[in-house]
Amino acid sequence: MQILTVAIRVIQQVIKDKRTLLFLLLAPVFVLGLLYVIMGSSSDEPNIGIIDLERSLQESLEAEAHIIEFPSEEEALQAMKTQDIDAYFYMEANTPYIEIEGGDITKKSPVMQAIQSSLQTFQKERAEEMKEDFEVMQDELAIVLKNMQQQTGQSIPIDFSEVDLLMEEPEINYLYLDENADLFDQVAPALMGFFIFLFVFLIAGISFLRERTSGTLERTLATPLKRSSIVFGYFLGFFLFVTIQTVIIQIMIVDILHVDRLGSYWLLLFMNIIVATVALSLGLLLSTFARTEFQLLQFIPVAVITQFFFSGIFDLSNAPGWVMFISKIMPLSYATDALQNVMIRGYDFSDIANDFIVLIGFTIVFILLNMLVLKRQRAA
């Protein structure tokens, strides 16, 4: 009952504070929309300069990249220095030379891909020509041998094996996602978890902090209210908004931006709400250690951004042991793992049960710690 009283008051407060409400609900939509546009807007076609290339090689490269012809290496180099081209390419005798700008690492692999794939096509064409020539030679040799047979009466075995110089192109199949998936598809689950975490952490933390600085927390604790009730009341009150926010973020990512999703929509939503729950309990806890809003903001680089780095957005498989250890004690690592596996790999609940248990464990620990530190506010 007391929990409900606190929860209702928290809800009333948030509804009255229109700006906070809008921030809570719209900021993630805005940020995610922007990111989607930014991540989808890199061009796949690099600009490659060429100097005096063989006709067929130039044609196969044109299929992969935007081509600009240069009469000399100096001019190509000049164009690369002014960033008009990402690389230039020329042949000397039978050796291909590739000069890459290198200042923009995102262009490196498209350039290499374009050139390598065109070289492959070029070599394949050459090999096909060779094969044709060889087959003509075989046929001619067969005629010569037959004539010899007739003239000498001797039997000469004429049995050439089928010429097979070429390996067929590999057939590529994807277990998850496909060749159309871009960077945003890959990081969307992690981003979703991160933004839910960040926004919930901020709002919950600042509200609870304000309660302390305005003296209302102390005043509330000078009633028969139990310490646990205020924590759970806050939890319950914010849970409503956090759920709405989570639904909005998920609708944005899954339904509006159409990021590929293999797993169950409802399991994803459930896990997102669990992520929000952890953030809620951590925000409430850390706000106890801040005296002002500014001090609370100082926790963000430590408690939130670091988690983002360690959470599996970057590949940590080769990281030293202590990095792995830090990653293991961060709630967002488990959140990202679960969200990625549900969204991209279509795991069901039993596959992510471990992540779920760890996240719930974090929440319980944070809530218990919070009750403990509230003792500073009220002795009993």
Cβ-in-10-Å burial (0-12, 13-18, 19+) of 29 comes to: middle
Instruction: Rule CB under 8 A: say whether 206 interacts with another protein.
Output: no
Instruction: Rule CB under 8 A: say whether 105 interacts with another protein.
Output: no
Closest CA to 253 of 313, 186, 315: 186
16 vs 55 by CB, closer to another protein: 16
Instruction: Rule CB under 8 A: say whether 371 interacts with another protein.
Output: no
Residue type, 27: A
Instruction: Rule CB under 8 A: say whether 302 interacts with another protein.
Output: no
Token pair in block for residue 28: 């993630």
Cβ-in-10-Å burial (0-12, 13-18, 19+) of 154 comes to: exposed
DSSP 210-246: HHHHTSHHHHHHTSS--HHHHHHHHHHHHHHHHHHHH
* HSE (side-chain half, CA atoms, 13 Å) at 93: 1
CA 360 to mean position of chain CA atoms? 24
CA distance 188 to 307: 16
CA distance 114 to 66: 10
Out of 219, 258, 291, 328, the residue judged to bind another protein by CB under 8 A: 219
Instruction: Rule CB under 8 A: say whether 149 interacts with another protein.
Output: no
CA distance 344 to 175: 10
Instruction: Rule CB under 8 A: say whether 292 interacts with another protein.
Output: no
Cβ-in-10-Å burial (0-12, 13-18, 19+) of 345 comes to: middle
Instruction: Rule CB under 8 A: say whether 17 interacts with another protein.
Output: yes
Residue type, 270: F
Instruction: Rule CB under 8 A: say whether 146 interacts with another protein.
Output: no
3 vs 367 by CB, closer to another protein: 3
Instruction: Rule CB under 8 A: say whether 13 interacts with another protein.
Output: yes
**Binding region for another protein (CB under 8 A) out of 46-54, 216-224, 286-294, 300-308:** 216-224
Shortest spacing between CB 288 and another protein, in angstroms: 16
What are the distances in angstroms from CA 305 to CA 209, 286, 301? 20, 15, 5
Shortest spacing between CB 6 and another protein, in angstroms: 8
**Binding region for another protein (CB under 8 A) out of 7-15, 70-78, 97-105, 360-368:** 7-15
Out of 222, 251, 323, 353, the residue judged to bind another protein by CB under 8 A: 222
Instruction: Rule CB under 8 A: say whether 291 interacts with another protein.
Output: no
72 vs 292 by CB, closer to another protein: 292
Shortest spacing between CB 296 and another protein, in angstroms: 19
Instruction: Rule CB under 8 A: say whether 228 interacts with another protein.
Output: no
Shortest spacing between CB 294 and another protein, in angstroms: 20
Out of 71, 157, 170, 224, the residue judged to bind another protein by CB under 8 A: 224
117 vs 377 by CB, closer to another protein: 377
Instruction: Rule CB under 8 A: say whether 223 interacts with another protein.
Output: yes
Closest CA to 3 of 216, 231, 266, 337: 231
Shortest spacing between CB 228 and another protein, in angstroms: 11
CA distance 243 to 245: 5
Instruction: Rule CB under 8 A: say whether 293 interacts with another protein.
Output: no
189 vs 233 by CB, closer to another protein: 233
Size of the site for another protein (CB under 8 A): 26
Partners of 133 in the β-ladder: none
CA dihedral 324, 348, 253, 108 (to 10 degrees): 50
- Binding region for another protein (CB under 8 A): 1-2, 5-6, 8-9, 12-13, 16-17, 214-216, 218-226, 377-380
